[in-house]
Amino acid sequence: MLGNMSNRAGTPAQSSDLIDVSALLDAYYDVVPDLADPAQRVAFGTSGHRGTSMNGSFNERHIAAITQAIVEYRAGAGITGPLFMGRDTHALSEPAQNTALEVLAGNGVEVLIDARNRFVPTPALSHAILVHNADRTDQADGIIITPSHNPPSDGGFKYNPPSGGPAGSDITNWIAGRANELLEDGLRGVKRIPLGEARLADSVGTYDFLAAYVDDLGSALDLDAVAASGLHIGADPLGGASVDYWAAIGEKYGLNLDVVNPEVDPQWGFMTLDWDGKIRMDPSSANAMASLISRAGSYDIATGNDADADRHGIVTPDAGLMNPNHYLAAAIRYLYANRPGWSADAMVGKTMVSSSIIDRVTADLGRTLLEVPVGFKWFVPGLLSGEVGFGGEESAGASFLRKDARPWSTDKDGILLALLASEITAVTGRTPSQHYRELTDRFGDPVYERVDAAATREQKAALAKLSPSDVTATTLAGEEITARLTEAPGNGAPIGGLKVTTENAWFAARPSGTEDVYKIYAESFKGIEHLKAVQSEAKAIVDSVIS
């Protein structure tokens, strides 16, 4: 449980819940960020710069400065190929794309935008970069404009380098630093031309993201088996960038597929409210997915995606909405048994806060586990090289290799994972949730939950800098502690917090980047009461070392 549950969670949005789109767009152009306020400066989190125009955290000046910084970064890095750019369906995404286009054209950067002037899912942009870079020396990169599953008032702006995946902190720190310098200097260093001129510039072209992505899906999935099975599939884009893609996929591959809701509405008035009473397009949330869950019996498999389609939600008739950890475990078990073209040494990638049933499944497969910090960027090198077959996060984001072990995407792909659920069902005759129950029969049935605990800014900073020796506890909820980790075992990278493990349980604590709390992820294979004990002792352990 993430906080106090709203009594309206899972109920349809009302008019009072909807944003004023006109006011949001006016603020994008009119509000000048106060750079004395850290919250109004450019800052890249795990998935780009995010904010809202209404409080000065995502405005035209931010986007102009960030885009100019990206231009300067790619020039310094010797990136000479085209820059692919796409946007999702959030209201702030189109004006942000227009601002970025003015700056890119003003700098003479070759930029490719959607040929249909529609929406581009994050995985389609990653796929485009990888396809271009596979056999060219003029490497391409990209900008995807999306705040992912965030509320309708938010905007987001993310840079993907030639690897095709999320930029690492070395890149984003440089871009953010340079963007803030440009803001402080009144944007005098930004080269920009009017939008009308930019659209007609020789350096601006188009790319058919939809056709390139949809036509290539057969290289990663057995869609012939899905078509032959006749499975009735319900795909809900949740008003996001995948809306055109699902209809095209169904037609291209002859699938018995319904686009459950093809509506695009920048207010998202058709959504049910998330746990806190906000509109949030999170396909891993039973509250946000309540409409689709209520129709689960109408489909053999039903799926949802967030606004940029980098996350997935899997709904089965026998279990309803699957916990993301459960689906990752079932997907891993299936893929490594049904992809003979992958290397026998291809590792399984998971983040530090994903379920440890994945560890047990991986060991049973005879594979090596690559456990990394939170953030999909850590899977990028392995997916590029084929050394990692699958990389997944507990927050319902994952991707995997093509059938011949070439990279498909190096960013999260919710469409791919949603279609995989249909492949699993078609090929095996059992749903992913039935596969997961088979796994728990063999490896145990873990209980997993995330809770928040209050923390000051100073305490959060202390948590992020812990060393294993700071933890003196020897037991956790009655079991001997087997590891105290502040670095990921898979790559030695700092996790920005602490993870403590025992034979049958673990917890991880990480500071929130936006709130005065730290997050406690915990899991137990010994039931809910043991999990509660783990959570309680986890808070005591963390508080003792950061106070």
Give the mean model confidence (pLDDT) for residues 445-466.
92
Q: Alpha helix locations (H) across 37-168?
A: 60-76, 93-106, 122-133
Per DSSP, what are the bridge partners of residue 449?
A: 522
Query: Which pLDDT score, from 0 to 100, does residue 3 have?
Result: 57
Q: Whose CA is closest to 502, among 522, 484, 520, 479?
A: 479
Confidence tier at 311 by pLDDT (50, 70, 90): very high
Tens digit of each residue's pLDDT (9 = 90 or more) over 26-67? 999 999 999 999 999 999 987 799 999 999 999 999 999 999
The order of strands in the sheet holding 494-501 is 447-454, 517-524, 505-511, 494-501, 483-487
Average pLDDT over residues 236-257: 98
Q: At what angle do helices 324-337 and 432-443 cross, to 10 degrees?
A: 90
Q: What's the average model confidence in pLDDT over 153-169? A: 97
Task: State both tokens at 356.
Answer: 């440890």
Predicted local distance difference test score (pLDDT) of residue 4: 74
Q: Given pLDDT bands bounded at 50, 70 and 90, which one contains residue 1?
A: very low
Query: 384 pLDDT exceeds 90?
Result: yes
Rounded distance, CA 85 to CA 247, Å?
Answer: 22
Stretch 156-177: mean pLDDT, rounded? 96
- Is 148 one of the annotated active-site residues of the chain? yes
Query: Is the CB of residue 121 less than 8 Å from the CB of residue 237?
Result: no
Cα separation, 359 vs 154, whole angstroms? 36
Q: pLDDT tier at 514 (50, 70, 90 boundaries)?
A: low
Q: What integer pLDDT is reported at residue 515 of this predicted model? A: 74
Q: Kindly state the helix (H) or strand (E) to which residue 304 belongs, with its residue range.
A: strand 301-305
Active-site residue identified among 93, 126, 148, 242: 148
Residue 287 near residue 271 (C-beta atoms within 8 A): no
Model confidence at 437: pLDDT above 90? yes
Helix (H, G, I), strand (E, B) or coil at 85: strand
**pLDDT(223) > 70:** yes
What was the pLDDT predicted at 247? 98
What pLDDT does residue 315 have? Answer: 98
Question: Average of pLDDT values for 423-428?
Answer: 98
How many whole angstroms separate alpha carbon 91 and alpha carbon 377? 27
Q: What is the pLDDT of residue 513?
A: 72
* Average pLDDT taken over every residue of the chain: 96
- HSE of 246 in the Cβ direction (CA atoms, 13 Å)? 28
pTM of the model: 0.96
pLDDT value of residue 534: 97
Domains of the chain listed by start with CATH number = 31-212 (3.40.120.10), 216-443 (3.40.120.10), 447-546 (3.30.310.50)
Question: pLDDT (tens digit, 9 = 90+) per residue, 293-307?
Answer: 999 999 999 999 999
498: Cβ contacts below 8 Å, ≥ 6 apart: 463, 466, 471, 484, 485, 486, 508, 509, 542, 545
The residues near 266 (Cβ < 8 Å, ≥ 6 apart) are 19, 21, 89, 90, 91, 152
Q: What are the pLDDT digits (tens) for 77-134?
A: 999 999 999 999 999 999 999 999 999 999 999 999 999 999 999 999 999 999 999 9
- The fraction of the chain above a pLDDT of 90, given in percent, is 96
- Across the range 472-482, mean pLDDT stands at 97
**Mean pLDDT (whole number) for 148-167:** 97
What is the reported pLDDT for 470? 93
